[in-house]
Structure 1
Amino acid sequence: MIAIPLPFVTSLLLSILAVVLFYRREQAAQATFIFIALCAVTSSIVGFRWETDIAVFKVLQPVLASCIPGVAWYCFTKSHRYKKSYFIHCLPPMLVVIGSLTYPFWRPPLDPFLAVLYVAYGIALLKASLSSNGIPEKVRLSDFPNTQKAESYAGIMLIVSAVIDIFVGINFAFYSGANALNIIAIGYCITLPLLAGTVVVVSQSVVQENIEMDSNEESTSRLMVEMKVSYPSVLTEEEMKKIVSKIDLLITEKEVFLDPDLTLDRLARKSGIPAKQISTSINQVYGRNISQVINEYRIERAKQLLISTDKTITQIYFDSGFQTKSNFNREFTRITEQTPSAYRSSQQDGK
């Protein structure tokens, strides 16, 4: 039986996923396709680097590896309104290219540099995922728990990759690299697919705003500059309560919670209040994030439908503003401590 090295197996699986994303031709998946293709090529280069003695692969491996954390970060910024400083993220790969090309002359510390780079990006992603006001503005509010986990897992995987590089360095220092190939192969086989998975989760949760705005939304969008003046970066308790009151009114009267693609960005546009101010105010006043608050309104609607109609649970979660049954079940159980079926049965038994 032919034995295929693990890096090539990983590359093949990632390539299949990249092809699927390419043919879907979704705008949100473009960056994801690039990232997964990069991971697939990197995994192949790792295989060639350790299975052959061709010099070009020794140069390409650190260069491609240095691109992975920056591209991963970019994929996650698609869900946020971060100011994208592309040059800063291009700088590490440029330095690695210079270091790789001049390696025979002065032996630059590429491995420690890559380890530090991965740790830095990993910490940045973890910090973003753990931020109390860090709800991605462009992600469906019902998908926020999943994207938050994906962002934190991506950060962890980058840090794990750095640890793997450290182990490889130790192996070379004390054992002449006897086990380096196995460490790298297993490490890439675990971290790259998991990283790719986290990026896919986020890309599927990002809402592309291609719809035309109604007249009210258009007028509020024109006032975004004025909004920043009206709502200072530091809000008083009274100002936060006013913002929450306005959001509550919008939710109850307009029933915006029924929009399955509702994002913090869209809510900000509809209300005329900056997204950051909404998120901060909801957190401070309710002690919960905007995603949880919106989902609570949706669950209340679902409870009403479970009691008053004979609709299927699938139809009910769609009619309540959810897109997936898993999100619906998770939030329903969180709020009621019952499954939807159990809740319906308990209400029928109580009549």
Structure 2
Amino acid sequence: MLSVPLPFIVGLAVALTLYRSLKGVEAPGSRAYFTAFLLLYALQGMIVGLRFGYGIHVLEPVQPVTASIMPPLAFLAFRALAEPPPQKPWLHVIGPLALVLALAVNTNWVDLLLLVLFSFYGISLLRLTLVADGAMVAAPFHRAAPVLRAARLTAGLMLFFAVSDAGLALYTVRYGNSDVPAAVGLINLAVVAGLLVYYLSGEFLPPATPVPAPVDHVSDADQMLLARVAAALDESDLYKDENLSLAKLARRAGMPSRDVSAVINRAAGINVSQFVNNRRVAEACRLLRDTSSPMTDIMFAAGFGTKSNFNREFRRVTGVSPRQWRASGKRL
């Protein structure tokens, strides 16, 4: 009876996890990068499974080539969500081409090239996610956090594969190939454990309440820019747009996305998402005080798309729940 090798399942699980995290995100760049990356990840799982699960060694030269394509494609996939879209994407074929050359000339370089590729792009992708609010400027604020988590998961996987594959290569040099299938299985089990942590941390752990950074002095220039962003947020009730993104806000303010993020960080001591939600909470407070509308109607009217986000952000700003606010008759 044929069995399904673990890499088959793991490859499909990672692809589906990333697809679910990125579903619905609007990006200025081509989504073809994501589609290609997810398909390649699933294909790589099949190749590894066929090679080590069924002993189909004809795939041995194919596996490193497809593996070398994954890191640059993953980086381009997430970089496509940034603004502006990636420039000169063709430069990212240099790594895979170098690996193909190594296969033809000297296979001893293959493992080292894969280590360099996975490490370089893993670190590059991680750095992309650490740029405050700037990496996913086209994603609606309520989707930006899941996208960043997905990017960090991908970066973590690439760095993990860089270390594990390098360790496996050193092990085979010293002890031979007999234990490689078992080692591949253990590596895939570690990936499964990582996916479980990723899923559980997103589904069940409450998000940490961000603490505003202290602002000692705000320059006149920053005050003017902050007022400009606030005016753009109020223009045509832009803050009520559930799918509002940093890119949309920046266009309305007539400023680069990075400048909008930076001035809010400097002048207000919070990030862009908090800045927008502060305005939404202020509107919710007004509606709670001046109307008898149901809580759900107020939530949507203020620009919030989910009850959990509404309650969390309301409590962050006011210190109480929306119902407690209405009952006490407070004013913001």
TM-score calculated relative to the size of structure 1: 0.74
Contact 2:126–2:155 (CA under 8 A) maintained in structure 1: yes
Indicate the SS of the match to 1:109: helix
Indicate the SS of the match to 1:108: helix
In 2, the alpha carbon distance for the partners of 1:2 and 1:131 equals 47
* Aligned-pair CA distance for 1:344: 0.4
Contact 1:307–1:348 (CA under 8 A) maintained in structure 2: no
Indicate the SS of the match to 1:97: helix
Q: Which amino acid aligns with 1:63?
A: V
Which residue does 2:79 correspond to in 1?
77
In 2, the alpha carbon distance for the partners of 1:78 and 1:72 equals 10
5 Å-filtered alignment, 1:103-122, equals 106-122=106-122
In 2, the alpha carbon distance for the partners of 1:313 and 1:2 equals 55
In 1, the alpha carbon distance for the partners of 2:221 and 2:19 equals 49
Runs of 4+ aligned residues of structure 1 deviating over 6 Å after TM superposition are 14-21
Contact 1:69–1:158 (CA under 8 A) maintained in structure 2: yes
Match of 1:257 among 218, 239, 256: 239
Contact 2:65–2:96 (CA under 8 A) maintained in structure 1: yes
Contact 2:134–2:257 (CA under 8 A) maintained in structure 1: no
Match of 1:66 among 42, 59, 68: 68
* Aligned-pair CA distance for 1:19: 10
Which residue does 1:99 correspond to in 2?
102
Contact 2:115–2:163 (CA under 8 A) maintained in structure 1: yes
Match of 2:47 among 26, 45, 65: 45
* Aligned-pair CA distance for 1:350: 6.2
In 2, the alpha carbon distance for the partners of 1:185 and 1:303 equals 54
**Percent identity of equivalent pairs:** 28
In 2, the alpha carbon distance for the partners of 1:69 and 1:246 equals 40
Contact 1:70–1:121 (CA under 8 A) maintained in structure 2: yes
Contact 2:82–2:138 (CA under 8 A) maintained in structure 1: yes
CA displacement, residues 157-200 of structure 1 (integer Å, 9 cap, x when unaligned): 21111121122123313332343223323434654995xx99xx
Contact 1:135–1:144 (CA under 8 A) maintained in structure 2: no
Match of 1:88 among 86, 91, 104: 91
5 Å-filtered alignment, 1:1-351, equals 3-13=3-13, 30-82=32-84, 83-100=86-103, 102=104, 106-132=106-132, 134-188=134-188, 191=191, 194=195, 237-338=219-320, 342-345=321-324, 347-348=326-327
* Aligned-pair CA distance for 1:308: 4.6
- Residues 245 and 13 of structure 1: is their aligned pair in 2 closer, same or farther, counting only changes over 3 Å? closer
Indicate the SS of the match to 1:123: helix
**Aligned-pair RMSD on alpha carbons?**
3.5
Indicate the SS of the match to 2:122: helix
Unmatched 5+ stretches in structure 2: 203-217
* Aligned-pair CA distance for 1:337: 4.2
Contact 1:18–1:37 (CA under 8 A) maintained in structure 2: no
Indicate the SS of the match to 1:254: helix
In 2, the alpha carbon distance for the partners of 1:346 and 1:267 equals 29
- Residues 317 and 181 of structure 1: is their aligned pair in 2 closer, same or farther, counting only changes over 3 Å? farther
In 1, the alpha carbon distance for the partners of 2:31 and 2:318 equals 35
CA displacement, residues 242-264 of structure 1 (integer Å, 9 cap, x when unaligned): 21111112223432111112122
Contact 2:31–2:77 (CA under 8 A) maintained in structure 1: no
* Aligned-pair CA distance for 1:124: 1.2
In 2, the alpha carbon distance for the partners of 1:185 and 1:297 equals 50
Q: Which amino acid aligns with 1:334?
A: R
In 2, the alpha carbon distance for the partners of 1:164 and 1:178 equals 17
Q: Which amino acid aligns with 2:43?
A: V
Contact 2:75–2:121 (CA under 8 A) maintained in structure 1: yes
CA displacement, residues 113-137 of structure 1 (integer Å, 9 cap, x when unaligned): 2122111111112212222363522
- Residues 135 and 315 of structure 1: is their aligned pair in 2 closer, same or farther, counting only changes over 3 Å? farther
TM-score calculated relative to the size of structure 2: 0.78
Unmatched 5+ stretches in structure 1: 202-235
